[in-house]
């Protein structure tokens, strides 16, 4: 009789954003550009994490980085919002919750 051979599951060669995640991120980016906060962005897709960085000006450090690290999915959450100095501002399991502090910057009081 034949034997069954089990092959170990391979980790993905590159981590990326799916369409729904990228839509949320780019919608926020477009609104921040329209408000005059951001001017440029960069994507970094690696073997352990994917990052979206937003810049005030092209030649500076990113104002924020949105990082997806699937290895932390069960522990702290795969999403992280990283500030300009490299500090983690928010971490979570849902992308919308992690983007909430940036969304609050767009809210303005309107007097009647």
The confidence score (pLDDT) of residue 112 equals 55
Mean pLDDT of 75-84: 91
By the 8 A CB rule, do 57 and 41 touch?
A: no
d(CA 112, CA 107): 16
d(CA 28, CA 105): 11
Helix (H) or strand (E) holding 34: helix 19-34
| Predicted confidence (pLDDT) per residue in 83-108, tens digit | 998 899 999 999 999 999 998 888 76
d(CA 3, CA 11): 25
Instruction: Indicate whether 8 pLDDT > 80.
Output: no
In the three-class reduction of DSSP (H, G, I as helix; E, B as strand; rest coil), residue 22 is classed as: helix
13, burial (CB in 10 Å: exposed 0-12, middle 13-18, buried 19+):
exposed
The confidence score (pLDDT) of residue 12 equals 60
d(CA 68, CA 15): 8
| Predicted confidence (pLDDT) per residue in 22-72, tens digit | 999 999 999 999 988 899 999 999 999 999 999 988 777 899 999 999 888
Query: pTM for the full model?
Result: 0.80
């Amino acid at each position: 009789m034949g034997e069954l051979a089990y092959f170990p599951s391979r980790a993905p060669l590159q981590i990326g954003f799916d369409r729904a995640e990228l839509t949320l991120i780019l919608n926020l980016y477009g609104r921040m550009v329209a408000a005059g906060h951001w001017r440029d962005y960069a994507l970094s897709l690696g073997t352990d994490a994917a990052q979206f960085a937003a810049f005030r000006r092209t030649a500076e450090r990113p104002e924020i980085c949105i990082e997806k690290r699937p290895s932390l999915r069960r522990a702290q959450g795969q999403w992280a919002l990283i500030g300009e100095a490299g500090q983690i501002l928010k971490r979570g399991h849902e992308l919308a919750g992690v983007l909430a502090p940036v969304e609050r910057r767009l809210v303005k009081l309107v007097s009647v």
